[in-house]
């Protein structure tokens, strides 16, 4: 498509946008009395207006029914989480029995490693990506130590090539084959949080399985952002947080995926009563009999107040569908890229987009490496009603989330940026 950097053209794109009406379904912070241009939905998604209704419903049930709310609330709490299985499984490309919501992301990845990182003398290595999200690094290092192993020997990082910003698929596959029979687990972020690079998860999953390893995915930046097909790819497990692209609010619950092929296995796991046989959960039996499916990994009763906005949001995803979101995502990300390049050409901005330009390797995020101005430009944008995200040493991340950003936003952002660069 031939884009133009004009208000009129941006408005025309909005008029053609089937999702345009959803902008009004979210609440925007204001700067100088005006809604901000929000680029940080990859860090904390905006609040859907309907979320409050879902939270209020719990508060009202609690006030009026107290303990009876567990079984007689308008959405009873004892099985509140089961409402997620169907709509959430569509977001991540799974069967309903393969997903559950519980805890928060790093907690869940730790729990999943209990099941899927079972090092032996022969097979004990983990492949992850260089400079993984810090929480994942701490987790992997300490899981390795927990098994009495040395992180320096057990953790193998896939590296970027000298002078390059992104991983090459052939390097990831080569590393998997090189570690081969010593490889116990591949655990990588499906989308790199820093650059926004989307990895070919199907191919990596297959490569891991070909050498006899388990393959799991941290989908923090992927859930609600890209087309996932966890079941068909055969991924062993995955987990994601709900407060980024999934708009469920700060610290809201994480989702997990456990492939059907493991539902009847004897994988060790940590357990609690919420993973126990549903019909018999309240009989207070002495022996753990796990639910067959991802719910069998639940431990405690669920944080219902934190699930409420997530449920509101999951229903919105179900209404819109990932295909429509992805179609708009690609168009608006391309438009933002066009505007950035056009502004740079007009005023000679000294920056580069380090997110891959290949459509299959990028999603909602463009990461911009600033060679000239750094933090001052970021501060200037913040003051002028744009909320981007800053990552040391000098990267600005922009996520034009398709649910609630408009093409007009992209145009106005370009004009504000231009003022900041001259
Ligand atoms: C955001 C993010 C996390 C956050 O973990 P929490 O346990 O939710 O605090 C973890 N991993 C990655 C890759 C992330 O982007």
Mean pLDDT of all residues in 384-409: 96
CA 108 to ligand 1: nearest atom: 7
pLDDT tens by residue, 158-184 = 999 999 999 999 999 999 999 999 999
Residue reference for tokens 């207070």: 284
pLDDT tens by residue, 276-295 = 998 888 888 889 999 999 99
The response to whether residue 189 sits with its C-beta less than 6 Å from ligand 1 reads: yes
pLDDT tens by residue, 47-78 = 999 999 999 999 999 999 999 999 999 999 99
The response to whether residue 293 sits with its C-beta less than 6 Å from ligand 1 reads: no
What's the confidence (pLDDT) of residue 350? Answer: 85
Query: 109, 132, 220: which to mutate for ligand 1, most atoms within 8 A of CB?
Result: 220
Contact 407, 14 (CB under 8 A): yes
Residue 372 has what DSSP assignment? S
Count other C-beta atoms under 10 Å from residue 69's C-beta: 21
Q: Torsion over CA of 162, 165, 166 and 168, rounded to 10 degrees?
A: -20
Say if residue 373's pLDDT is above 80: no
Count other C-beta atoms under 10 Å from residue 134's C-beta: 9
Q: Which of 3-7, 197-201, 330-334, 376-380 has the lowest mean pLDDT?
A: 376-380
Query: 43, 101, 105: which to mutate for ligand 1, most atoms within 8 A of CB?
Result: 105
What's the confidence (pLDDT) of residue 283? Answer: 85
CA distances from 346 to 1, 61, 83 (A): 21, 58, 51
What's the confidence (pLDDT) of residue 348? Answer: 84
CA 43 to ligand 1: nearest atom: 1
Give me the phi and psi of 73, to 5 degrees please: -65, 165
The response to whether residue 243 sits with its C-beta less than 6 Å from ligand 1 reads: no
In 59-192, the DSSP E strands lie at 99-102, 125-129, 155-158, 183-189
What's the confidence (pLDDT) of residue 385? Answer: 97
In 355-402, the DSSP E strands lie at 366-370, 386-387, 389-391, 395-398
pLDDT tens by residue, 99-155 = 999 999 999 999 999 999 999 999 999 999 999 999 999 999 999 999 999 999 999
- Which DSSP string do the residues of 201-223 spell out, in sequence order? HHHHHHHHHHTT-EEEEE-TTTT
Within 13 Å of residue 168, how many CA atoms lie on the same side as its CB? 9
Cα distance between residue 37 and residue 28, in whole Å: 8
Cα distance between residue 263 and residue 291, in whole Å: 9
CA distances from 25 to 10, 28, 46, 84 (A): 20, 10, 10, 21
């Amino acid at each position: 498509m031939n884009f133009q950097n004009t208000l009129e053209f941006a408005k025309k794109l909005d008029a053609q946008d089937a999702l345009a009406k959803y902008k009004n379904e979210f609440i925007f912070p204001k700067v100088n009395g005006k809604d901000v241009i929000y680029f940080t939905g990859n860090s904390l998604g905006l609040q859907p207006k309907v979320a409050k209704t879902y939270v209020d419903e719990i508060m009202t049930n609690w006030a009026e029914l107290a303990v009876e709310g567990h079984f007689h609330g308008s959405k009873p709490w004892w099985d509140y989480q089961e409402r997620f299985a169907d709509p959430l499984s569509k977001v991540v490309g799974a069967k309903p029995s393969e997903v559950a919501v519980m805890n928060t992301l790093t907690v869940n990845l730790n729990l999943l490693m209990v099941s899927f990182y079972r090092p032996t003398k022969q097979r004990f290595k983990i492949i992850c990506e260089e400079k993984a999200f810090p929480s994942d690094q701490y987790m992997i290092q300490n899981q390795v130590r927990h098994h009495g192993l040395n992180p320096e020997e057990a953790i193998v990082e896939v590296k970027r090539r000298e002078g390059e910003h992104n991983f090459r698929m052939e390097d990831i596959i080569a590393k998997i084959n090189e570690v081969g029979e010593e490889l116990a687990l591949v655990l990588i972020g499906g989308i790199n949080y820093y650059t926004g690079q989307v990895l070919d998860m199907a191919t990596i999953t297959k490569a891991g399985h070909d050498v006899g390893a388990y393959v799991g995915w941290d989908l923090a930046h992927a859930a609600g952002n890209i087309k996932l097909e966890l079941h068909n790819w055969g991924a062993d497990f995955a987990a994601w947080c709900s407060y980024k692209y999934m708009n469920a609010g700060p610290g809201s619950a994480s989702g997990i995926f456990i492939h059907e092929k493991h539902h009847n296995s004897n994988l060790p796991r940590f357990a609690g009563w919420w993973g126990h046989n549903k019909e018999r959960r309240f009989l207070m039996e002495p022996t753990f009999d796990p639910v067959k499916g991802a719910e069998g990994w639940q431990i405690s009763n669920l944080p219902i107040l934190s699930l409420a906005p997530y449920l509101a949001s999951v229903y919105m995803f179900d209404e819109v569908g990932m295909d429509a979101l992805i179609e708009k995502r690609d168009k608006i990300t391309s438009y933002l890229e066009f505007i950035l390049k056009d502004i740079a050409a007009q005023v000679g901005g000294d920056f580069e987009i380090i997110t891959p330009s290949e459509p299959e390797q990028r999603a909602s995020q463009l990461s911009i490496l600033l060679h000239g101005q750094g933090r001052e430009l970021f501060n200037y944008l913040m003051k002028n009603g744009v909320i981007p995200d800053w990552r040391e040493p000098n990267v600005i991340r922009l996520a034009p989330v398709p649910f609630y950003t408009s093409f007009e936003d992209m145009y106005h952002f370009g004009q504000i940026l231009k003022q900041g660069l001259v």
